[in-house]
Homo-oligomer: A and B are copies of this chain.
């Protein structure tokens, strides 16, 4: 059996796994993200030890990483983490380092693109070729899969910073995006919920009026994302979307906002299976990384 490696490179922890999919993982480990030297060594060691012990060469290793990343093919800093505020991690050649240490071909993409690919292979977007994965957590990020591949374009789309209608009468909160104030991320990420209410989003009860507002901003954003990319499905993940009561609200509001403009059964009659939660749970990130590796 050909085996692949996967790394979910997160700002707080790394998860590494070896295998072929959710039911075929033969090894895994996790450890906190410290310095690049220590953390990348730990990751490389995990794969090297496995290969030595099992006398198996991994076909490739995928990294689904926090960013921003340079993903422009041919760029001198291709595969680098670029301008992150995370101490020590700016300008780290994460892909090159792991490729040199392990001797395996290493492919890298954003954490969201990884999760999107994983969901396409084994999760909530199986059988689809063109879809969107949006994560709503500390930040808001998006991945656009086109013909089963993460779309990059000039850099990579992020989706969090689109502009939305913002009724200051109804919601005087100015937004917390350092670049744009009240863009989508500035109005609707987890910290924006906390800034408005003085409580962590996970502690706000479902009947708190802020959830109605949150659903509305997400629905407004989805209208724009749908109009620009016409995805076959939209997966909504991230910490904030653990509030499962948001799904029915977002679906109803998105359909109302579109107001019959898009004559597609998926939206008119089947919106419950058009806007959906992820299916891969805790292992989504590292499985996405394995999906990336399989795509080389």
Chain A residues engaging chain B, CB cutoff 8 angstroms: 68, 82-83, 130, 142, 144, 146-147, 151-166, 179-180, 182, 220, 223-225, 227-232, 257-264, 266
Contact = CB atoms under 8 A, between A and B. Distances in A.
B229 A157 contact: yes
Given A144-B229, A165-B165, A224-B163, A264 B154 contact: yes
Given A146-B151, A157-B228, A231-B154, A166 B163 contact: no
B220 A156 contact: no
A258 B258 CA distance: 26
B229 A263 contact: no
Given A179-B259, A257-B180, A230 B153 contact: yes
A220 to B, nearest CB: 5
B155 A257 contact: no
Nearest first, the 4 A-B pairs at minimum CB distance are: A153-B230, A162-B224, A179-B261, A157-B230
Contacts of A147: 146-147
A153 B129 CA distance: 8
B162 A230 contact: no
Best-buried of A156, A223, A266 by chain B (most CB within 10 Å): A223
Contacts of A159: 227-228
B227 A229 contact: no
Given A155-B264, A157-B228, A180-B261, 16 more contacts: A68-B263, A130-B153, A144-B229, A146-B147, A147-B147, A154-B232, A154-B266, A162-B228, A163-B165, A163-B220, A163-B223, A179-B258, A179-B260, A179-B261, A224-B224, A228-B229
Contacts of A157: 227-230
Contact of A224 (B154, B155, B179, B228): B228
Contacts of A231: 153-154
